[in-house]
Amino acid sequence: MDLLKKSLSNAINNILRNKLINFLCLGIISFTLLTLGIFDYISYNLEIFTHNFSKNIEAIFYFKNDVKEKEIKAQISNIRKSLLIDEVIYKSRDEAKTSFLSQFPELKYILKEFDKSPFPSSIEIKFKQEESNLTTKIISFIEDIERSDIIESKQVNIDWAKKVLYIEKFISITGIILSGILLFVSVFIIYNVIKLNIIYRKEEINILQLVGATDWYIKFPFIIEGALMGLLGGIIAGILLIILIKLIPSYSDFIINILKNIMILKKIPLKILIRLLSFGTVIGLISSLLSLRKFFKK
């Protein structure tokens, strides 16, 4: 505990001692983590949006005219087995005709031409709302049903969700690549800052080694320093992210209309902020360990 307190105190003193280089380092880490945070935030919102969207997904499948009732019942039974399904409502051809007439009584005369109901039988499927990543599963499920020989056509309000999913994937991949590059840069920067600190304190390290300090006793303060730099970078990035979200300018109606639909959250979720702090600390730790490894190999 004493060692931790002392290491924290030393770390803060060291950061303040070499202000310029440490603040530059902090700036780069914060920028990296801010970029990460922005992509994370957008991805998270898209995920929420698609999840909420999945609550309202309904699909109507129309059967072919020559399909036997036995086949329809078998299809309905199969569909009901799926864990995604909340409700399946079957409408026979006659029921479809009755439904049409109740909605449009003035068009009764059109149906006089037909002996049988011209409307196909159909099933209306309502999906469950509890699971995450529901939209992807639902899309896949619907495509499976559509491939069935007895299905003529479908009516699904899912095309919009598909597009959002593509955007979500694109943003995720872009975010990962960009963040990967920036994370590498951050690791490299902290690695060199810690290295400079080691060189600056070479004399002290040498004395500690000569009086019998263990390697970990010597390394620990530097590790704490690296982790602290990363953590501070994460805190700064978190604060900037909060400010940025509040300040997004609303000059484009088109973008804002989309964003208004997608950006359901007003506040930044705590888990995004925690991720930023954790990433920052881990970057700092890894960089310090890499820097110390080279020094202690001799």
Partner 1 sequence: MIGFYHVYKQYVKESYAIYDINLSIEKGEFYFLTGASGAGKTTLLKLIYKEELPTKGQILIDSVNINLIPRNKLYKLRRKIGIVFQDFKLLYNRTVFENIAIPLLVRGYRKSYIDKMVKNSLSLVGLNHRKNYITSHISGGEQQRVAIARAIAGNPIIIIADEPTGNLDTELSIEILKIFEKINNNGITVLIATHDNNLIKMFSKKTIELKQGKLISSPIKEKQQWIY
Based on the shown chain and the rule CB under 8 A, indicate whether residue 1 belongs to the binding site for partner 1: no
Shortest distance, CB of residue 297 to partner 1, whole angstroms? 9
Based on the shown chain and the rule CB under 8 A, indicate whether residue 4 belongs to the binding site for partner 1: no
> H or E element: which one contains 157?
none
Q: CA–CA separation, 110 vs 69, rounded Å? A: 26
Return the residue of 66, 203, 253, 270 that touches partner 1, per CB under 8 A: 203
**Could you tell me whether strands 151-156 and 58-63 are parallel, antiparallel, or unpaired per DSSP bridges?**
antiparallel
Return the residue of 99, 206, 252, 257 that touches partner 1, per CB under 8 A: 206
If the CB atoms of residues 6 and 68 are measured against partner 1, the closer one turns out to be 6
Return the residue of 24, 181, 213, 258 that touches partner 1, per CB under 8 A: 213
Give how far the C-alpha of residue 92 lies from the chain's centroid of Cα atoms, to the nearest Å. 42
Residues in binding contact with partner 1, number by CB under 8 A: 14
Structure-block tokens of residue 38? 């922005």
State the amino acid at position 98 in one-letter form: T
Structure-block tokens of residue 34? 């801010």
If the CB atoms of residues 212 and 249 are measured against partner 1, the closer one turns out to be 212
Pick the piece of the chain touching partner 1 (CB under 8 A) from 124-132, 144-152, 172-180, 203-211. Answer: 203-211
Pick the piece of the chain touching partner 1 (CB under 8 A) from 51-59, 186-194, 211-219, 277-285. Answer: 211-219
Shortest distance, CB of residue 217 to partner 1, whole angstroms? 5
CB 156 within 8 A of CB 59: yes
Phi and psi at residue 191, to the nearest 5°? -55, -45
Shortest distance, CB of residue 287 to partner 1, whole angstroms? 22
Return the residue of 209, 244, 245, 282 that touches partner 1, per CB under 8 A: 209
- Could you say which residues in the range 17-36 bind partner 1, by CB under 8 A? none
- Our CA dihedral for 198, 200, 206, 209, rounded to 10 degrees, sits at -40
Compute the 3-state secondary structure of the chain and give helix, strand, coil in percent, each to the nearest 5.
75, 10, 20
Structure-block tokens of residue 80? 């009901």
If the CB atoms of residues 87 and 204 are measured against partner 1, the closer one turns out to be 204
CB 101 within 8 A of CB 111: yes
Based on the shown chain and the rule CB under 8 A, indicate whether residue 243 belongs to the binding site for partner 1: no
Chain residues binding partner 1 by CB under 8 A are 3, 203-204, 206-215, 217
